[in-house]
Amino acid sequence: MARLRALEPGAAIVWRDISALPMPDAPYAALLAHPDDVTPPAARGSITLSETLIREIEDADILVLGTPVHNFTVPAALKSWLDHVVRVNRTVTLSAQGKKGLLTDRPVLVGVAAGGVILGEDAQQPDFFTPYLKAVLGCIGLHNLHVVSVQGTAFCDASAKAAAMENALSTLSPVLSACTEAELSHDIPAPHV
Ligand X SMILES: Cc1cc2nc3c(=O)[nH]c(=O)nc-3n(C[C@H](O)[C@H](O)[C@H](O)COP(=O)(O)O)c2cc1C
Listed in sequence order, the residues at least 6 apart from 96 whose beta carbon sits closer than 8 Å to its beta carbon are none
Listed in sequence order, the residues at least 6 apart from 149 whose beta carbon sits closer than 8 Å to its beta carbon are 111, 112, 113, 114, 118, 119, 120, 168
Q: What is the largest CA-CA distance in the chain?
A: 56
CA angle 122, 127, 133 (to 5 degrees): 130
Smallest distance from ligand X to CB 61, Å: 25
Q: Which is nearer to ligand X, 28 or 129 (CB)?
A: 129
Q: Which is nearer to ligand X, 7 or 117 (CB)?
A: 117
Q: Which is nearer to ligand X, 116 or 191 (CB)?
A: 116
Smallest distance from ligand X to CB 71, Å: 5
Residue nearest to ligand X (CB): 115
> What residues line the site for ligand X (CB under 6 A)?
68-72, 113-116, 118, 125, 153
Query: How far is the C-alpha of 141 from the C-alpha of 182, rounded, in Å?
Result: 22
Smallest distance from ligand X to CB 163, Å: 15
Query: How far is the C-alpha of 46 from the C-alpha of 61, rounded, in Å?
Result: 25
Smallest distance from ligand X to CB 85, Å: 22
Q: Which is nearer to ligand X, 29 or 160 (CB)?
A: 160
